[in-house]
Structure 1
Amino acid sequence: MPRPLRRAGSRLERTLKPVTDAVLGTAAVLALRALRWFDPDKTAHLLARCARVIGPYLPEHKVGRANLRAAFPDKSPEEIESILLAVWENLGRFAAEFAHLDRIWDFDPNRPGTGRIEIAPNAQPLFEKLMNDGKGALVFAAHLGNWELPALAAPAYGLDSAVLFRRPNIAAVDRAVQDIRSLNMGETIPTALDAPVRLADALQNGAHVGMLVDQHYSKGVDITFFGRPAKANPLLARLARQIDCPIHGVRIVRLPNQRFYAELTEEIEPVRDSSGAIDIQGTTQKINTVIEGWIREHPSQWLWLHRRWR
């Protein structure tokens, strides 16, 4: 295409972007509000089927296929496609469940096994220890299963918490998402220049800081992920180096019949250098190695659709 036409196309795109963002934002907000009127389980089944049909036609499907081939070179093309279809199903269910976040977490410690949330045997005593040790903690998670649910556990039982999150690019969607999250999450801190300071303040005040740490971060430290070089966000390790506090991992994986299994790891000891200080790269690697193990157990529940390796 001639350069003048490319420039004209770019100018038109920039001019129309506020309009298209407004339209998309309005549609997303209306969809979230509409979903709350319907049964969450039936809606999750419907959106899972839709995502399974539509997903393979989207460019992210190729990204996911390339990621899976790189991570699991021993798997056949048929196995890769089967995992990818399940990834789309999980994403569809996640979308439906997001609209009902304030209604999904229903674990009752006095009546375990009666709701949709099942807790690992060691999770409850670990959680009680976090509540009663009088200090904050760092808790990492991954885009696995329903990755919004871990942020619901702490405030449900009175544990002071703060969650780092990335704002959606469209303002209307951002407001709708925050309206849903504000119903039963702790403090939410957007990724911004002041985020590390706010997170450090929260830790010093005894809050339990949660963050997703499994995506590509161009300014991150070098790690190995599924045997390949990758970049990872070192923020959690830097906070641990700045403020002495325990580190734990949390994951909530999907079970049949619209149920979930929640796990909290034992305290993870950070890697230290010869002087005894926390090693940022080594600790970041250790955390991502834990996440890799989670994904290997449940590959169909991780978000393979982003470019993790670049």
Structure 2
Amino acid sequence: MSDTSDHIPLTERFVGMVLYAPIALARTLPYRWRIPVAGWLTAHVLAPLAGYRRRVRDNLAHACPDLPAPERRRLMRAVPDNAGRNMMEMYSPEFREAARHLPVSGPGLPTLRAAREAGRPVVFVTGHFGNFNAARVAMIEQGFHMGGFYRPMKNRPFNRHYMAAMRSVSEPLFEQGRKGMTQMVRHLRSGGVVAVLNDLNAHDGVPLTFFGQPALTSLATAEMALKYDAPLIPVWGIRNPDGRSFHVVVEDEIAPSDAVTMTQEFNDRLEAQVRAHMDQWFWIHRRWKDGSGPLHDKRAEALAKMQNR
């Protein structure tokens, strides 16, 4: 993504300044206040202006139509609050230091350690849930050299310091696109570990089920795991009730089969985590934007195979 200032219109620069303003303001505060203030500003100032509350409401109505009205109203505030905390934590050295010492548990740890001893690559798969950067730092501290696959921000001025903040958490980072994919594959082939957030609407994805509704989902993580003989392991950085600390859960490997079955298993596991912590998933995403998709027939064929086994 080119961000040469000569090619950035004033309106885009202004929007970048507006997006960064809450972060700049919160960064002046001590850490114990910085995180909740960033959450409050996002939930009570940015979210109403940007239409985030409306999008949370609409997504909940689509995916959880039976959710009681008081809980829906709570999530319309709590979800942007968690998003604001996430962003501010990425810009905070104190968060990165604390994340190095997080407790890590879960049934997937023996598989991870066995893969490391054998020199096998590993594909971590997760979503915009809790704070994945907490899991990222904690797993690196556990000895897993993890590369991350990311989608750059559309606003180029904001993306500059956003990327600098992401790199301060860990490297290497692979930008979405052909070049980034090539770099990530090279990293995997060398026995490296990659982490992919696989819960965005994917225009070239397959309409798998998420909260009982078709949601276009990329098969790339499962396809990489199968191609490079890498265990596909869900990992979650879950925010604790105090709002500032986390614990990391490493789940069992998703059993190798075919890419559709494995990706549906990921969707199911993510849904289980979200149902347990509804305010920690990014309900602001347009996750169910288009439930048909160009690969609908591929899913139908895969499901038919599963039923005939």
Equivalent of residue 239 in structure 2, options 254, 275, 290: 254
In 2, distance between residues paired with 1:179 and 1:57? 26
Equivalent of residue 228 in structure 2, options 231, 236, 243: 243
Using a 3 Å threshold, how does the CA distance of structure 1 residues 143 and 184 change in structure 2: closer, same or farther?
closer
1:197 offset after TM fit, Å?
2.4
In 1, distance between residues paired with 2:24 and 2:140? 23
Contact 1:217 1:231 in 2 (8 A): yes
Are positions 1:45 and 2:36 aligned together?
Answer: yes
In 2, distance between residues paired with 1:252 and 1:33? 25
Superposition map of 1:122-137 within 5 A? 122=107, 125=110, 127-137=112-122
> In the alignment, what sits opposite 2:79?
87
In 1, distance between residues paired with 2:271 and 2:131? 17
Structure 2 residue identity aligned to 1:68: L
Contact 1:222 1:281 in 2 (8 A): no
Structure 1 residue identity aligned to 2:91: A
In 1, distance between residues paired with 2:145 and 2:16? 32
In 2, distance between residues paired with 1:308 and 1:238? 21
Using a 3 Å threshold, how does the CA distance of structure 1 residues 131 and 29 change in structure 2: closer, same or farther?
farther
Aligned residue pairs, count? 281
Render the CA deviation track for 1:232-286: whole Å, top value 9, x for unaligned: 0111122123211111011111112311111011211133xxxxxxx22222211
1:176 offset after TM fit, Å?
1.0
- What is the aligned-residue identity percentage? 23
Contact 2:138 2:248 in 1 (8 A): no
Are positions 1:68 and 2:60 aligned together?
Answer: yes
Could you say which structure has the larger radius of gyration? Answer: 1
1:206 offset after TM fit, Å?
0.7
In 1, distance between residues paired with 2:277 and 2:58? 18
1:167 offset after TM fit, Å?
0.9
> In the alignment, what sits opposite 1:200?
185
Using a 3 Å threshold, how does the CA distance of structure 1 residues 134 and 102 change in structure 2: closer, same or farther?
farther
Are positions 1:263 and 2:249 aligned together?
Answer: yes
Are positions 1:299 and 2:278 aligned together?
Answer: yes
Render the CA deviation track for 1:85-116: whole Å, top value 9, x for unaligned: 111221221222121156434356xxxxxx6x
RMSD of the alignment, in Å? 2.5
In 2, distance between residues paired with 1:127 and 1:30? 40
1:291 offset after TM fit, Å?
0.9
Gaps of 5+ in 2: 1-6, 290-309
1:131 offset after TM fit, Å?
3.3
In 1, distance between residues paired with 2:188 and 2:59? 35
Structure 2 residue identity aligned to 1:164: F
Structure 2 residue identity aligned to 1:53: H
Contact 1:155 1:184 in 2 (8 A): no
In 1, distance between residues paired with 2:283 and 2:20? 26
Structure 2 residue identity aligned to 1:252: G
How does the TM-score come out when normalised to structure 2?
A: 0.82
Using a 3 Å threshold, how does the CA distance of structure 1 residues 202 and 67 change in structure 2: closer, same or farther?
same
> In the alignment, what sits opposite 2:3?
none
In 2, distance between residues paired with 1:30 and 1:59? 18
In 2, distance between residues paired with 1:122 and 1:283? 18
In 1, distance between residues paired with 2:33 and 2:129? 21
Using a 3 Å threshold, how does the CA distance of structure 1 residues 213 and 105 change in structure 2: closer, same or farther?
farther
- Greater shift, 192-201 or 251-260, is seen at 192-201
Are positions 1:96 and 2:88 aligned together?
Answer: yes
